[in-house]
Amino acid sequence: MIKAPRGTHDILPSESYRWHAVEEQIRKICQCFGYKEIRTPMFESTELFERGVGDTTDVVQKEMYTFLDKGGRSITLKPEGTAGIVRSFIENSIYANPQPTKLYYLYPCFRYEKPQAGRLREFHQFGVEVFGSHTASMDAEVIGLAMSLLSRLGITGIELNINSIGCPKCRKEYNEKLKDYFRPHLGELCETCQERFEKNPLRILDCKSAECKKIYESAPVLLDHICDECKDHFESLKKYLEIMEIPYNIDATIVRGLDYYTKTVFEIISKNEGSEGTICGGGRYDGLIEEVGGPKMPGVGFGMGLERLLLVLESIGKLPENEECPDIFIANIGDAADMFVQKLVLDLRKSGIAAERDYLERSVKAQMKYANKLNAKFSAVIGDDDIAAGKASVKNMTTGEATEVLFADMAEYLNNLLK
């Protein structure tokens, strides 16, 4: 039997309603904050991620699904959301519009890494990107959107951690301090970090190797070496978060795993048993648009994995209820009723009613048993006498109360009850 590729997951009808419910809340909160949806191709030129994400990151070095197409071009399934949106922002000259540009996305991404709970090789990501604003108030808005969504979903037991990783100017000086610190320990670092030492020593602080962690525990802290401009930005961010009543911790170890970040970086962590770990991460990337070939323009955003989000909801018993059930199930008795119900169900659907019927020629008893399994809100049984009378008894499946309703009025009757 052919099975799904390792690290992928079928989202079955028995669980897809959870995704729909979460995605609906995402769209609602983005509308409230003034963000518009953008959809970019599933694959991009490999060069986009090498330039945008950074060729010293684990994503580019180890995790990308890259292949040559039939024209010999190097193509990569997108491993993250930001770079493709930046490319679209430039290519479609959106930078010429009044700024800021506030966008959100919902789509699959792909990374070749070891599958684990809440982390797959094909995963689904919600993210926002804002272009054109350099202010800390926009950083705070982006964080506020993420926290508002989690609150709307009923998620508790989370922490917001923030940091500043400075700008290219102060980070260049800090990188030299890091090199001075790591040089005596170079032979003790893992092979990947030895390569990072020359190209981008900051990446060493993102290494998950236990040996490297021990070494960098006493390394100089970047937050202590940022320039005055970056300090002012960080102080402003803290004030905005405080005025918005968003609790936060300062975590000087956050550097994020992608090269494009500048100044603000943040993570939202779940402390809930069974779903511990990062559920949202992001920050500011003021040089990315220019790096990819666009004008000098700042940006800020975040990414949130939907698999991780659903894992957190499950761990705290807050998975959405299944509300995707028929409004009415209509059973039939006899051939004439079978034909009549076929047309009636179609008419109800045209009026916005989620109507269902039997398609397996079951007995009336079996049809009603099936209606219960579908969690239908209402039901009706139609036979020849009902057709002649032009009406049927509509039963509330929760209360058991039944009401005679004319077929001509059934759509209006149900719509009034379902409001």
Q: Within 13 Å, how many C-alpha atoms sit on residue 11's CB side?
A: 14
pTM of the model: 0.89
Residues composing the chain: 419
| Furthest CA-CA distance within the chain | 94
Alpha-carbon distance values, 316 to 88, 269, 270, 271 (Å): 38, 14, 11, 11
- The alpha carbon of 364 is separated from its chain's Cα centroid by a whole number of angstroms, namely 44
User: In this structure, what token pair is assigned to residue 385?
Assistant: 């006498």
What pLDDT is stored for residue 57 in this prediction?
Answer: 67
Dihedral sign of CA atoms 395, 408, 325, 126 in order: negative
The ranges of the chain with pLDDT < 50 are: none
How far apart CA 332 and CA 31 sit, in angstroms, is 44
Q: Where exactly does CATH 3.30.930.10 map onto the chain? A: 13-167+226-315
Homologous superfamily of 13-167+226-315 = Bira Bifunctional Protein; Domain 2 (3.30.930.10)
How far apart CA 55 and CA 419 sit, in angstroms, is 54
How far apart CA 126 and CA 158 sit, in angstroms, is 18
Contact 162, 250 (CB under 8 A): yes
Q: For residue 138, what is the enclosing H or E element? A: helix 136-152
How far apart CA 315 and CA 309 sit, in angstroms, is 10
Q: Where exactly does CATH 3.40.50.800 map onto the chain? A: 328-414
User: In this structure, what token pair is assigned to residue 275?
Assistant: 């779903």
What pLDDT is stored for residue 95 in this prediction?
Answer: 96
Contacts 24+ apart (CB under 8 A), 322-326: 322/17, 322/375, 323/17, 323/21, 324/17, 324/20, 325/354, 325/374, 325/375, 325/376, 325/377, 326/354, 326/355, 326/356, 326/371, 326/374, 326/375, 326/376, 326/377
DSSP type of residue 296: S
DSSP type of residue 186: G
Query: Strand runs (DSSP E) across 217-285, as ranges?
Result: 249-250, 262-270, 277-284
User: In this structure, what token pair is assigned to residue 7?
Assistant: 């690290």
Amino acid sitting at position 332: N
pLDDT digits (tens, 9 = 90+) for 149-174: 999 999 999 999 999 999 988 888 88
How far apart CA 262 and CA 101 sit, in angstroms, is 19
User: In this structure, what token pair is assigned to residue 229?
Assistant: 């401009």
CB atoms closer than 10 angstroms to residue 142: 24
Alpha-carbon distance values, 139 to 92, 144, 233, 298, 299 (Å): 25, 9, 10, 11, 9
User: In this structure, what token pair is assigned to residue 371?
Assistant: 């209606």
Homologous superfamily of 328-414 = Anticodon-binding domain (3.40.50.800)
Residues in CB range of 135: below 8 A, 6 or more apart: 236
Whether omega before 100 lies within 30 degrees of 0, making that bond cis, reads: yes
Residue 209 burial (C-beta neighbours within 10 Å; 0-12, 13-18, 19+): middle
How far apart CA 286 and CA 260 sit, in angstroms, is 8
What pLDDT is stored for residue 136 in this prediction?
Answer: 98
DSSP type of residue 88: H
Q: For residue 105, what is the enclosing H or E element? A: strand 101-110
Q: Compute φ and ψ for 45, nearest 5 degrees.
A: -60, 135
User: In this structure, what token pair is assigned to residue 201?
Assistant: 């020593």
Contact 127, 330 (CB under 8 A): no
In the numeric block, the tokens 């991780």 are attached to 308
